[in-house]
Amino acid sequence: MKWLREKTGTLFSKTLFGMLAISLTVLVVTAGGLFVWFRTEMVRGYYELTGAVMGNTDAVFSRNLSDARELLMEWYASADGVSLRLDSDTDALDHMSFINRVQETLRGSSWLQSVCFINRERQMALNMGSNVSYPENLERILVDKITQEDSRNEPFAWKVKSYQSDQEMIPLLTMPMAEAPVGNENFAGMTVVNIDLAQLNKGLFSDEQEEQFRIYIFNADGMVVGSSSREELGEDWSGKEWVRRVLDGEGQFEMKEDGKRWEILAASMQYQGFWIAAQSDYVTQIMNINSIFYIITAVLLLAAGVIILLMVLVSRRIFQPFHQVVGSLKQSEIAEKMDPEKDEVAFLEHFYQGVSSQMQLMNDKKEKDFIVKNMLLGTQGREVGLLLRQKGILFEGKPYYMAVVFLESEDREDSLSMQEYDMLRNMVSGVFVTALEQNGRCTGFEAGLRRLLFLISGKEEQTQELLETLQRAESSARRLSPVRLYMMVSEGFQDDGSGCVRSFRRMNEYLKTRQLLGCTEAAVLPQADERISEDGTERIVECLKKRDKPGYLEAVDALLSACGMMPYEAFAAQLELLVRQIARAGKIVRYAEGYKQKNTGPVREHIAALSGREELVLWLESLYDEAALSISKVAGHSTAALMEEAVDYIRNNYDDSSLSVNLLADRLNISAAYFGKLFTEFTGTKMLDYVLKVRMEKARELLLSEPDCDIARIAELVGYNNSTYFTTAFKKYYGVTPSRFREYHVTERLREGEEGEENGS
Contact 504, 378 (CB under 8 A): yes
Contact 455, 399 (CB under 8 A): no
DSSP string for 203-268:
HHS-S--BTTEEEEEEETT-BEEEETTSSSTT-B-TTSHHHHHHHTT--EEEEEETTEEEEEEEEE
Contact 584, 631 (CB under 8 A): no
The strand ranges marked E within 368-516 are 400-409, 441-446, 451-457, 483-489
pLDDT at 351: 34
Measure the CA–CA gap between 483 and 479, rounded to whole angstroms: 9
pLDDT digits (tens, 9 = 90+) for 233-278: 888 998 888 899 999 999 888 887 776 778 889 999 998 889 999 9
Measure the CA–CA gap between 170 and 156, rounded to whole angstroms: 14
pLDDT at 675: 84
Q: What is the mean pLDDT of residues 454-468?
A: 85
Q: Give strand pairing partners of 175.
A: 193
- Tell how strand 213-219 and strand 190-196 pair up: unpaired
Which of 319, 323, 344, 326 has its CA nearest to residue 11?
Answer: 319
pLDDT digits (tens, 9 = 90+) for 527-582: 777 676 677 788 888 887 777 888 888 888 888 888 888 888 888 888 888 888 88
Domains and CATH numbers, the chain: 78-202 (3.30.450.220), 362-524 (3.30.70.270), 535-634 (no CATH), 639-756 (1.10.10.60)
Please tell me what DSSP assigns to residue 121: T
pLDDT at 694: 93
Other beta carbons within 10 angstroms of residue 600's beta carbon come to 15
Residue 333 CA, chain-centre distance (Å), reads 70
Q: Give strand pairing partners of 116.
A: 127, 192
Measure the CA–CA gap between 355 and 350, rounded to whole angstroms: 9
pLDDT at 195: 92
Residue 527 CA, chain-centre distance (Å), reads 28
pLDDT digits (tens, 9 = 90+) for 317-375: 656 665 666 566 555 555 555 555 444 444 435 434 433 555 665 666 676 667 777 76
> What is the chain's length?
761
Long-range contacts of 283-292 (CB under 8 A, 24+ apart): 283/43, 283/46, 284/254, 284/260, 286/39, 286/42, 286/43, 286/46, 289/39, 290/39
Which run of H or E residues covers position 159? Answer: strand 156-161
3-class secondary-structure state, position 116? strand
Q: Give strand pairing partners of 112.
A: 195
Other beta carbons within 10 angstroms of residue 412's beta carbon come to 12
DSSP string for 327-372:
HHHHTSGGGGGS-TT--TTHHHHHHHHHHHHHHHHHHHHHHHHHHH
Measure the CA–CA gap between 156 and 172, rounded to whole angstroms: 8
Order of all β-strands in the sheet with 400-409:
441-446, 451-457, 400-409, 483-489, 523-524
pLDDT at 635: 52
Which of 734, 624, 740, 745 has its CA nearest to residue 674?
Answer: 624
Measure the CA–CA gap between 577 and 600, rounded to whole angstroms: 10
Measure the CA–CA gap between 252 and 263, rounded to whole angstroms: 8
The phi and psi torsions of 547 (rounded to 5 degrees) equal: 60, 45
pLDDT surpassing 60 at residue 744: yes
pLDDT digits (tens, 9 = 90+) for 175-206: 998 888 888 888 888 999 999 988 888 888 87
Contact 681, 690 (CB under 8 A): no
pLDDT surpassing 50 at residue 596: no
pLDDT > 90: what percent of the chain? 12
Contact 270, 58 (CB under 8 A): yes
Buried b (16+ CB within 10 A) or exposed e, 240-256: eebbebbbeeeeeeebe
Measure the CA–CA gap between 342 and 79, rounded to whole angstroms: 98
pLDDT digits (tens, 9 = 90+) for 657-703: 889 988 888 877 777 888 888 889 888 899 999 999 999 999 999 98
CA dihedral 140, 141, 145, 146 (to 10 degrees): -30
pLDDT at 318: 59
Please tell me what DSSP assigns to residue 563: G
3-class secondary-structure state, position 760? helix
> In whole angstroms, how far apart are CA 157 and each of 215, 224, 226?
17, 8, 10
Q: What is the mean pLDDT of residues 618-647?
A: 75
Give me the chain's average pLDDT, please.
Answer: 79
Order of all β-strands in the sheet with 169-177:
124-129, 112-118, 190-196, 169-177, 156-161
Measure the CA–CA gap between 624 and 669, rounded to whole angstroms: 9
Contact 205, 230 (CB under 8 A): yes
What distance, in Å, lies between the first and last C-alpha atoms of the chain? Answer: 170
Measure the CA–CA gap between 761 and 755, rounded to whole angstroms: 10
Which of 563, 568, 553 has its CA nearest to residue 530?
Answer: 563
Question: Quick one: pLDDT band at residue 232, thresholds 50, 70, 90?
Answer: confident
pLDDT at 587: 67
Please tell me what DSSP assigns to residue 185: T
3-class secondary-structure state, position 161? strand
Contact 354, 333 (CB under 8 A): no
